[in-house]
Amino acid sequence: MLSQGFVSAAAIAASVLFILSLGGLSNQEKAKRAVWYGIVGMAVAVGFTALGPGIGGYGWLIPMVLIGAGIGTYLARKVEMTEMPQLVAALHSFVGLAAVFVAWSADLERRRVLAARAADGVMQEFSAFAALVATKAPDELTFLQIEVVLGIFIGAVTFTGSVIAFGKLAGKVDGKPRQLPGGHLLNAGAAVLSLVLAVMYLNGAGFWTLILLALLAFFIGYHLIMGIGGADMPVVVSMLNSYSGWAAAAIGFTLSNDLLIVTGALVGSSGAILSYIMCKAMNRNFVNVILGGFGGSQGPAAEIEGEQVAIDAGGVASALNDADSVIIVPGYGMAVAQAQSAVSDLVRKLRAAGKEVRFGIHPVAGRLPGHMNVLLAEAKVPYDIVLEMDEINDDFASTDVVIVIGSNDIVNPAAQEDPNSPIAGMPVLKVWEAKQVFISKRGQGTGYSGIENPLFYKENSRMFYGDARESLNTLLPLID
């Protein structure tokens, strides 16, 4: 058993590693090293915590750690990159549910301690946490109760919200915004009832108040995320990431665990900042995201004139062979088709022919922030030709050919031209300003988001139908 001094020193070291990990993830070239910082930091955190003072029950602890490690290893090997967003959402739900269970357990231990004090007796089988609670003064126990309420509420909202986000990302739940009759009034009513239950609990009401509080928070999490459209899931995932961090911090305060507080605060604050960046990229109000009040249409969409004109691989190859500058815009369709390697091969062939090739990446492309950057890095696309929307948007007007691979909303001119569009006001990549635009798409449907795209009907646009990977592999031999 290690002393508290060793555990505290390990917590500081783990916290530094987590900070270095987050800092390194801001740069693609440093990302691999940053991930290792996080891995080592978590190993230090778990190991030294398990060996710290007051920790026992290794007969339960060790098997649970091994089972969890086994499940994690299995998922890491099995889950495809296209399934990573829903996996992240699922992991957020675990953090939220853990916060609820820990908070319930903390209150039960608090009640045991108070019962022992009232009976003027001595508890012979104090748990490590109960022993900690027994040392607290009455005002400190009040703060513990506040921490319990926050842990339950944030954790429960995170749990059901993440479960619904997982369902929408995995296609198991309808991606359209759905709310029960009453809409936001139901959420507001549930929040007010939650506050009433919290006040009752703080004034001595029974454990039943915490059960009802959790049920109300479960409903709020469910109803909030059900009210958000599937096209807005990247923002939702980053928001739930923030919620899971604050839930972890609440657990840390309850357990007097400094490392959980620091880690939760890091995750919570970074998730909140990322949510703000995502909202800015989609021209959304941050408060509306928190309240689940966006993702639906604003009125009847403008009618689209013209028709979608198809083109074959030969026509696309001819345009590419004549072009001097090419911009590729990837979206979730590239991930679904696992076409990143074929895209990388196309880039190498075009660059070998002396053409300028770059990528335009929208902040919310894919279903997870940074989704496209990760896929392109996996395919070994050079980092220096992968540019963000603000860096490349002014260059489309002077570009010969743009190839859009599986994108819809992020290249949709309706965002700027149709005030009734569900994505009205959202900054988009202005691909239609290029001389020629080729859209690689499976078929004529609206895709996952269900939003029609006028780009597909423009005179300088051609539809390159088919599976993205197969289409690109057909195209590659035709490039000079």
Q: Which residues of 77-89 are buried (b: 16+ CB within 10 A; e: fewer)?
A: eeeebbbbbbbbb
Residue 128 CB neighbour total at 10 angstroms: 14
Rounded alpha-carbon distances, angstroms, from residue 343 to 340, 347, 456, 472:
5, 6, 21, 7
Cβ-Cβ contacts under 8 Å for 243 (sequence gap 6 or more): 92, 96, 154, 157, 158, 161, 268, 271
The band of 368, judged by pLDDT with boundaries at 50, 70 and 90, is confident
| Residue of 107, 409, 418, 467 with catalytic role | 409
Residue 252 in this model has a pLDDT that exceeds 90:
no
Note the pLDDT of residue 294.
45
Q: What is the C-alpha separation between 330 and 156, in angstroms, rounded? A: 35
Lowest mean pLDDT among 215-224, 318-327, 368-377: 368-377
Note the pLDDT of residue 394.
93
Q: What is the C-alpha separation between 175 and 443, in angstroms, rounded? A: 19
Which residue, among 292, 237, 240, 281, has the nearest Cα to 85 in the 3D structure?
A: 237
Lowest mean pLDDT among 67-76, 171-180, 217-226: 171-180
Lowest mean pLDDT among 273-277, 298-302, 377-381: 298-302
Q: Is residue 122 domain-shared with residue 255, that is, in the same domain?
A: yes
Q: Which helix (H) or strand (E) holds 441?
A: strand 436-441
Q: What is the C-alpha separation between 217 and 50, in angstroms, rounded? A: 31
DSSP state of 292: T
Indicate whether 464 belongs to any domain: yes
234 vs 258, residue with greater confidence: 258
Q: Is residue 238 domain-shared with residue 115, that is, in the same domain?
A: yes
Indicate whether 304 belongs to any domain: no
Cβ-Cβ contacts under 8 Å for 43 (sequence gap 6 or more): none
Q: What is the C-alpha separation between 228 and 232, in angstroms, rounded? A: 7
Domain end marker among 78, 98, 117: 78
Q: What is the C-alpha separation between 442 and 195, in angstroms, rounded? A: 49
Handedness of CA 287, 291, 292, 295 (dihedral sign): negative
Question: Region 266-282: what's the mean pLDDT?
Answer: 83
Q: Is residue 149 domain-shared with residue 8, that is, in the same domain?
A: no
Domain end marker among 40, 60, 78: 78
* β partners of residue 387: 360
Q: Is residue 349 domain-shared with residue 454, that is, in the same domain?
A: yes
Q: Write the DSSP string, 407-424.
A: --GGG-THHHH-TTSTTT
The band of 296, judged by pLDDT with boundaries at 50, 70 and 90, is very low
Helix (H, G, I), strand (E, B) or coil at 43: helix
Q: Is residue 53 domain-shared with residue 87, that is, in the same domain?
A: no
Question: Region 367-376: what's the mean pLDDT?
Answer: 81
Helix (H, G, I), strand (E, B) or coil at 310: strand
Q: Is residue 355 domain-shared with residue 223, that is, in the same domain?
A: no
Indicate whether 103 belongs to any domain: yes
The band of 196, judged by pLDDT with boundaries at 50, 70 and 90, is very high
Question: Region 262-267: what's the mean pLDDT?
Answer: 90
Share of the chain above pLDDT 70, in %: 89
Note the pLDDT of residue 97.
92
Q: Is residue 25 domain-shared with residue 166, that is, in the same domain?
A: no
Tell me which residue range forms the domain holding 62. 1-78
Indicate whether 296 belongs to any domain: no
| Number of domains the chain contains | 3
| Catalytic site includes residue 120 | no
Q: How crowded is the C-beta side of 307, counted as CA atoms within 13 Å?
A: 3
Indicate whether 299 belongs to any domain: no
Q: Write the DSSP string, 312-359.
A: -HHHHHHHHHH-SEEEEEE-HHHHHHT-HHHHHHHHHHHHHTT-EEEE
Contact (CB, 8 A) for 248 and 260? yes
Q: Is residue 148 domain-shared with residue 215, that is, in the same domain?
A: yes
Question: Region 48-73: what's the mean pLDDT?
Answer: 84
Cβ-Cβ contacts under 8 Å for 324 (sequence gap 6 or more): 355, 356, 400
Domain end marker among 78, 113, 138: 78
Indicate whether 281 belongs to any domain: yes
Q: Is residue 111 domain-shared with residue 229, that is, in the same domain?
A: yes
Note the pLDDT of residue 132.
66
The band of 298, judged by pLDDT with boundaries at 50, 70 and 90, is low
Residue 348 in this model has a pLDDT that exceeds 60:
yes
Question: Region 446-469: what's the mean pLDDT?
Answer: 84
Lowest mean pLDDT among 183-197, 219-233, 463-477: 219-233
Return the CATH number at 333: 3.40.50.1220
Contact (CB, 8 A) for 350 and 479? yes
Question: Region 266-278: what's the mean pLDDT?
Answer: 85
Q: Is residue 227 domain-shared with residue 138, that is, in the same domain?
A: yes
The band of 295, judged by pLDDT with boundaries at 50, 70 and 90, is very low
Q: What is the C-alpha separation between 371 and 128, in angstroms, rounded? A: 42
216 by Cβ neighbours in 10 Å (0-12 / 13-18 / 19+) ranks as: buried
Q: For residue 390, report the phi and psi dihedrals to the nearest 5 degrees.
A: -65, -25
Average pLDDT, the chain: 84
**Residue matched to tokens 């020629």:** 436
Q: Is residue 320 domain-shared with residue 285, that is, in the same domain?
A: no
Note the pLDDT of residue 31.
79
Q: Say what the pTM is.
A: 0.78
Q: pLDDT digit string (tens) for 19-40? A: 998 888 777 677 788 889 999 9
> Which two structure tokens, joined as six digits, stand for 151?
């842990």
Q: Is residue 74 domain-shared with residue 144, that is, in the same domain?
A: no
Indicate whether 297 belongs to any domain: no
Indicate whether 298 belongs to any domain: no
Note the pLDDT of residue 473.
93
Cβ-Cβ contacts under 8 Å for 399 (sequence gap 6 or more): 325, 326, 327, 433, 434, 435
Question: Region 9-22: what's the mean pLDDT?
Answer: 89
